[in-house]
Amino acid sequence: MGCGSSKPETSQAGAVTGGTRSILQTSAPPPPPPPRGGPAAAVAGPAPAQARLEAVNRPDLLPKEPGQNVIQIEKFLTSGQAKRMDSMLANLEKDTGFRVRVLCQSYPQTPGLAIRDYWDLGKEDQKDDKYVVLVVDQFGGRGNVLNFNVGDGLKFALPNVFWTRLSGKYGTTFYVKENGIDLAIVNAIEAIVTCLRSEDQYCVNVPDQGLSMRSLGM
C-alpha cells in the first residue's frame, strides 16, 4: 500500500501500515467499541454516526530548524533520550539509506499533513519510499500508543507481521503503565534500527532487548 492509498491497514494491535497521509492528516482517537448484544444493546439503538474529520495541517507546531528526526509535540521522551535517538536515526540513514522518523503528539495537537513537507516523505509519486514514521499518541489511554506508517520501499525488509508484533510487544496500555511510554518508544525504535542494520536487513520477529550500542550504529 503506497502513500496515495485510500485506507490504511490496521492491525488489532494498533499498528498502522499505510502511507503517512493516512494517519497524519486525521490522527483522531479510535471510536469507542460498539455495544455488545443483549437487551441493553437493543434499547440503546444504533450508535450515532461519527462526524467526518477534516484534514489537519498545522506547520506552526513543527520545529523552526530543519532536519530533526524526532519531533515532540508532546514530551514523551526526555531531552537526552530524544537527542540520542535523533543521532541514532541520522547515522542509520547515512549508513543504510533507511529513513526512520518519530512524531510524539497528543491529538488534536498534531501537525498533520505539514509533517510530509518537513520530512519530505509520503508524497504522491515519490520514489524515495524507504521510510517509516512512528506516530506516538496515547489517545486518552484507549488504544495502542505505537502507530507505524511504512513506505513501500521498506515493506520487504519489515513486513506487516513485524509491525503487528512490535506494537503488540511495546505499545499496549499494560506495557506503558508498567514501564513508561518513553521506554516503549525507545525499545520500539531500537528494534527497528537493529533489524535494518542486520546483515539480511530483514525481520519478522522483534529482536530481544539488551541490544548492543554497536548493533544500533552508535
Is 142 within a domain?
yes
Q: How far apart are CA 182 and CA 130, in angstroms?
A: 25
Is 1 within a domain?
no
Give burial (CB, 10 Å; 0-12/13-18/19+) of 90.
Answer: middle
Is 41 within a domain?
no
Domain range holding 156?
A: 20-28+52-216
Is 97 within a domain?
yes
Is 102 within a domain?
yes
Q: How far apart are CA 93 and CA 89, in angstroms?
A: 6
Is 5 within a domain?
no
Tell me the per-residue pLDDT of 36-73, one tens digit each, with 9 for 90 and over.
444 333 333 333 333 344 578 999 999 999 999 999 99
Is 10 within a domain?
no
Q: How far apart are CA 139 and CA 170, in angstroms?
A: 16
Q: What is the pLDDT of residue 9?
A: 43
Number of domains in the chain: 1
Q: How far apart are CA 71 and CA 40, in angstroms?
A: 45
Q: What is the pLDDT of residue 127?
A: 73
Is 45 within a domain?
no
CATH of the domain at 148: 3.10.310.50
